[in-house]
Amino acid sequence: MTSIQGVIAICVIAFILNLPFGWIRANTRKFSLAWFACVHAPIPVVAVIRIATHTPWTYIPLFLLFSVAGQILGAKMKRFCVKAS
């Protein structure tokens, strides 16, 4: 049985890990190789953490949700910082 603290920790890691990739992705052409790399590069890290902590696969949609949120917020932060300059 996985503890809720472990699941929350992985969610936070997925979110924070995706922030810089969302920042970088904001300036890439959609569906380009760089865009694809920014979207998919953090996935193995989250997967390794999930497997190492023996977290069930049923939590993957939750981790995906936090990853997407990190990507979106990272891109919004980039656009805000560029607009503010």
Q: Could you list the pLDDT tens digit for every one of the 85 residues in the chain?
A: 569 999 999 999 999 999 999 999 999 999 999 999 999 999 999 999 999 999 999 999 999 999 999 999 999 999 999 888 7
Query: In total, how many domains does the chain have?
Result: 1
DSSP letters for 14-75: HHHHHHHHHHHHTTSPTTSHHHHHHHHTTHHHHHHHHHHTT--GGGHHHHHHHHHHHHHHHH
pLDDT of residue 84: 84
d(CA 2, CA 17): 22
The pLDDT, as a whole number, for residue 1 is: 55
User: The whole model's pTM is what?
Assistant: 0.91
User: How far, in Å, CA of 20 to CA of 76, rounded?
Assistant: 11
Range of 71's domain?
4-84
- pLDDT given at position 70: 98
Output the pLDDT for position 11.
Answer: 98
